[in-house]
């Protein structure tokens, strides 16, 4: 039995070496197959890296020591609403961290304004968020990169660097039209790659009056004393008879928010890749059929000399797999060099505004791409291999 | 004076028939073939084109199975073996020489000759020895590292013969080995086959159209209309 297996392996080894040595002579067809598969993998990985990049921004935005409070029944802050007194009561809930000035709670409202995109010149929505004066203590990942924070009570805004990159006119010192007045851009900020970088921030009170919102807010963001207090915090708020609210950890909130877009891009990417993969399978099939046809005589000769049919099958499959792997590696490399870090913006369908992000070609995506190539290679090699195996030797020899 | 006792038959064919299907009709190519070949014989098989010579040779070499009848070589029936067993049997018992040589173009002469040895348990050093020996027998020692395309037809056929004898098989089966060669190279090949038969005791069955070639054999048999005979049918 062992002897049998060793013999089989030796046969397979030598037949495979023979077929690999002939690749040079068939380099045209092989290159077509390799590049076809590389194309599929590159597109597959690139499209999925969009979804990864998008999700990355959304999860980056979350912080487990922060909670966001919405009116119950609203899935997004767009639909949420609190009166001024309600928002104050929320800020006083147990578990909220305090500074000398009071609870670390930012009462926020949110509008969208239209600005032309730098890339296309067409208008798109930019979130303009009004926050409490102590927002920088609550949103402690925010850093002013250039300029200074806005001063409460003035028509001043600060702009996230993602938004500044995406939109025309969001430069330090420039001004933008909000409501009836021009507001000055006094600072640019970063948020460790989070969603806030795609927004414009200002003083909530100024925004309320500019948009005639009275004393109303949409969300309250609080900093908790620790992530562990969240269940108690949530229980206290959601069972308070004075208002109907729901509390979410910021991390969960953002993952929720990104789900639609993530699934959409992933689904679309998989669909495009699947369609292209069908084409690549035919390319690989063609390559391997040609290879088998060109080698009918050699295969028949080897079989006449006593080589078994399964080593022939395996050698053809191995060759097809090898070409596919080459294609997969090439495609992954292309996707990595071209797309990793590539900057883009997309609609965040929950807030109907733009989210700036960078494509992320992660190691797991590269592995998925190579697996996809392997699959194409297997399918493309199987039929030609079986055909070669079924070839009756006597008949094949006389077809020469 | 007593003649030495005849060696026992190495090949016994009994009542062999072979049919092929072509569309709806059945072609009866071989109809009741009986044949015995003794060790050390050099048999020439002649007959008109399409008479079934290659078909018969394939049955003897285990490349195909008869529709009916028995084929035994060295007391072993091969007409019932599975494809896998037949392949293993071929590797040990027959050497094929083809009209068009059938060398692998990507391999040098010595690696072509080595191919059948890859199916044995010989190690690399032993294989090299055997290859060198076979190439010496066919007189191609100095062309060992040449590729088939760098060799003449006659030289390629000699590589083919070296490949066929390198495992020291029971039977050497040649299908028109000189069919694609000019007279001079053809004669060289026939000299070689004759020497293998006479000096090395090889049992050879050779299909040929050429009376010049069959004259080298120790016996000539004729295939016509599906039957074997000892004389040519006019
Ligand atoms: N696999 C097959 N299927 C159908 N017909 C076949 C098959 N193999 C051989 N034949 C037919 O059997 C007949 C005999 O063929 P074979 O090759 O044995 O003849 P041959 O005597 O070797 O001829 P030649 O001298 O031209 O080589 C031919 O008519 C051929 O077409
Ligand atoms: Mg023939």
A290 in the same domain as A161: no
Give residue A230's domain range.
Answer: 73-243
Which chain B residue is nearest to residue A24, measuring alpha carbons? B106
Q: Is B20 in the pocket of ligand 1 (CB under 6 A)?
A: yes
Tell me, yes or no, whether A253 lies in a domain.
no
Structural domain contains residue A1? no
The predicted structure's pLDDT at residue A156: 95
Give the mean pLDDT of A240-267: 85
What is the separation of C-alpha A214 from the centre of its chain, rounded to a whole number of angstroms? 39
Give the model's pLDDT for residue B2.
62
Binned at pLDDT 50, 70 and 90, residue B12 comes out as very high
User: Do A217 and A128 fall into the same domain?
Assistant: yes
For A216-240, write each residue's pLDDT tens digit: 999 999 999 998 999 999 999 999 9
- Residue B173 is predicted with a pLDDT of 97
On whether both A230 and A99 belong to a single domain, the answer is: yes
Domains of chain B plus CATH, in order, are 39-66+80-232 (3.40.50.300)
Name residues whose C-beta falls within 8 Å of residue B20's C-beta, 6 or more positions apart in sequence: B26, B27, B29
Ligand 1 atom with the smallest distance to the CA of B64 is: 1
Chain A residue numbers with beta carbons less than 8 Å from the beta carbon of B102 are: 297, 301, 304, 397, 400
A102 in the same domain as A233: yes
Domain final position from A243, A270, A295? A243
| pLDDT, tens digit, 9 for 90 and up, residues B37-68 | 999 999 999 999 999 999 999 999 999 999 99
pLDDT at site A354: 65
For residues B66-88, average pLDDT: 93
pLDDT of A36 reads 85
Give the pLDDT confidence of A72-111 residue by residue, as tens digits.
888 788 889 999 999 999 999 999 999 888 899 999 998 9
Does residue A78 sit within a domain?
yes
The whole-number pLDDT of residue B234 equals 52
Q: What is the mean pLDDT of chain B?
A: 93
Examine residue A298 and state whether it is found in any structural domain, yes or no. Answer: yes
Residue A3: inside a domain: no
Residue A62's pLDDT is 80
Q: What is the pLDDT of residue A293?
A: 78
Are A206 and A338 found together in one domain?
Answer: no
Q: B88, A306: Cβ pair inside 8 Å? A: yes
Residue A297 is encoded by which pair of tokens? 């005589």
Give me the pLDDT at residue A248, please. Answer: 92
- A21, A306, A394 ranked by CB distance to B116: nearest: A306
B50 lines ligand 1 (CB under 6 A): yes
Query: Does residue A106 sit in the same domain as residue A35?
Result: no
Average of per-residue pLDDT across B101-126 = 90
Look at A388 and B55; give whichever has higher pLDDT. Answer: B55
Q: Which of residues 53-72 of B touch A (CB under 8 A)?
A: 54-55, 58, 61, 63-64
Q: For residue A345, is pLDDT > 70?
A: no
State the pTM of this model: 0.70
Distance in angstroms (rounded) separating the CA atoms of residues B21 and B52: 14
How many Å apart are CA B221 and CA A135, to the nearest integer? Answer: 106
Instruction: Confirm whether A386 is domain-assigned.
Output: yes
User: Tens digits of per-residue pLDDT, A119-145?
Assistant: 888 888 899 999 999 999 999 889 999
**Is A385 part of any domain?**
yes
ipTM associated with this complex: 0.93
Q: What is the pLDDT of residues A274-305, one digit of tens each?
A: 888 788 888 778 877 877 777 788 888 999 99
Residues A31 and A103 in one domain: no
Judge whether A309 is closer than 8 Å to chain B, CB to CB.
Answer: yes
What pLDDT is stored for residue A329 in this prediction? 94
Number of domains in chain A: 2
End position of a domain, from candidates A209, A243, A277: A243
Distance CA A185, CA A188 (A): 8
Examine the domain organization and report whether A94 and A225 are in the same domain: yes
Quick check: A190 and A181 in contact, CB under 8 A? no
Listed in sequence order, the DSSP H helices in chain A are 2-21, 27-61, 84-91, 135-138, 161-166, 204-210, 230-238, 250-294, 296-305, 309-339, 363-390, 393-398
Answer yes or no: do A295 and A360 share one domain: yes
What percentage of chain A carries pLDDT values higher than 70? 96
Cα-to-centroid distance, A304 and ligand 1 (Å): 17
Q: Cβ separation of B63 and A397 shorter than 8 Å? A: yes
- The verdict on A333 and A364 lying in the same domain is yes
Over residues A320-340, the mean pLDDT reads 90
C-alpha of residue B54 to centroid of ligand 2, in Å: 4
Residue A99 and residue A33 share a domain: no
Residue B70, pLDDT > 90, answer yes
Find, in chain A, the residue whose alpha carbon is nearest to that of B65: A394
- Identify the domain boundary among A218, A243, A268: A243
Confidence tier at B156 by pLDDT (50, 70, 90): very high
B51 lines ligand 1 (CB under 6 A): yes
Q: Which residues pair with B46 in a beta bridge?
A: B222
A180 lines ligand 1 (CB under 6 A): no
In the prediction, which pLDDT does A353 show?
57
**Least CA distance to A310: which residue of chain B?**
B84
* Choice among A22-36, A71-85, B39-53, B183-197 with the minimum mean pLDDT: A22-36
Neighbours of B201 (CB within 10 A): 10
CB contact (8 A) between residue B104 and residue A18: yes
Contacts of A45 (CB under 8 A, 6+ apart): A331, A332, A335, A336, A339, A361, A365, A366, A368, A369
pLDDT exceeds 60 at position A351: no
Q: Is residue A65 a part of any domain in this protein?
A: no
| pLDDT tier, B172 (very low <50, low <70, confident <90, very high otherwise) | very high
Same domain, A163 and A312: no
């Amino acid at each position: 039995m062992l002897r049998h297996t060793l013999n089989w392996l030796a046969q397979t080894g030598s037949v495979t070496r023979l077929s690999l040595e002939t690749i040079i002579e068939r380099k045209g067809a092989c290159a077509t197959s390799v590049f076809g598969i590389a194309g599929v993998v590159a597109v597959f990985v690139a499209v999925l890296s969009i979804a990864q990049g998008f999700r990355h921004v959304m999860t980056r935005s979350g912080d487990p020591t922060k909670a966001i409070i919405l009116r119950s029944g609203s899935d997004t802050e767009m639909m949420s609403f609190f009166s001024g007194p309600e928002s104050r009561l929320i800020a006083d809930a147990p578990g909220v961290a305090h500074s000398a000035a009071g609870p670390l709670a930012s009462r926020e409202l949110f509008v969208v304004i239209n600005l032309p995109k730098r890339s296309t010149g067409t208008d798109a929505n930019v979130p303009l968020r009004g926050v409490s004066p102590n927002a920088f203590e609550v949103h402690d990942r925010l850093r002013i990169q250039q300029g200074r924070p806005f001063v409460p009570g003035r028509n001043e805004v600060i702009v996230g660097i993602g938004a500044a990159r995406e939109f025309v006119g969001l430069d330090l010192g420039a001004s933008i039209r909000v409501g009836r007045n021009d507001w000055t851009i006094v600072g640019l900020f970063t948020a460790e790659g989070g969603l806030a970088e795609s927004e414009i921030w200002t003083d909530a009170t100024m925004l309320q009056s500019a948009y005639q919102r009275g004393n109303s807010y949409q969300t309250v963001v609080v900093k908790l004393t620790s992530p562990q207090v969240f269940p108690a915090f949530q229980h206290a708020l959601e069972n308070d008879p004075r208002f109907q609210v729901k509390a979410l950890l910021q991390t969960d909130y953002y993952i929720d928010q990104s789900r639609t877009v993530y699934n959409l891009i992933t689904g679309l990417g998989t669909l495009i890749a699947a369609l292209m993969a069908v084409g690549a399978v035919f390319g690989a099939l063609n390559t391997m059929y040609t290879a088998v046809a060109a080698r009918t005589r050699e295969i028949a000769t080897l079989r006449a000399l006593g080589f078994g049919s399964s080593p022939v099958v395996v050698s053809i499959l191995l060759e097809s797999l090898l070409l596919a792997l080459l294609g997969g590696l090439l495609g992954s490399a292309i996707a990595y060099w071209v797309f990793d870090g590539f900057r883009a913006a997309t609609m965040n369908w929950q807030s109907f505004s733009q989210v700036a992000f960078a494509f992320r070609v992660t190691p797991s995506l590269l592995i998925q791409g190579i697996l996809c190539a392997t699959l194409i290679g297997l399918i493309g090699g199987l039929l030609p291999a079986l055909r070669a195996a079924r070839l009756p030797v006597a008949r094949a020899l006389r077809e020469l | 004076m007593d003649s030495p006792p005849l060696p026992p038959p190495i090949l016994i064919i009994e009542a062999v028939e072979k049919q092929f299907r072509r569309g709806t009709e059945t072609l009866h190519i071989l109809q009741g073939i009986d044949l015995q070949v003794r060790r050390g014989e050099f048999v020439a098989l002649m007959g008109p084109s399409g008479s079934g010579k290659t078909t018969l040779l394939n049955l003897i070499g285990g490349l195909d199975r008869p529709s009916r009848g028995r084929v035994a070589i060295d007391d072993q029936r091969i007409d019932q073996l599975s494809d896998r067993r037949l392949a293993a049997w071929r590797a040990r018992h027959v050497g094929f020489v083809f009209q068009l040589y059938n060398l692998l173009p990507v391999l040098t002469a010595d690696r072509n000759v080595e191919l059948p040895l890859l199916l044995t348990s010989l190690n690399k050093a032993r294989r090299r020895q055997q290859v060198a020996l076979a190439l010496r027998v066919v007189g191609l020692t100095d062309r060992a590292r040449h590729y088939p395309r760098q060799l003449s037809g006659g030289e390629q056929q000699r590589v083919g013969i070296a490949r066929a004898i390198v495992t020291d098989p029971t039977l050497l089966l040649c299908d028109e080995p000189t069919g694609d060669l000019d007279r001079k190279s053809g004669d060289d090949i026939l000299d070689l086959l004759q020497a293998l038969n006479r000096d090395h005791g090889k049992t050879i069955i050779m299909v040929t159209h050429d009376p010049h070639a069959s004259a080298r054999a120790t016996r000539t048999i004729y295939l016509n209309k599906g039957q074997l005979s000892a004389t040519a049918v006019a």
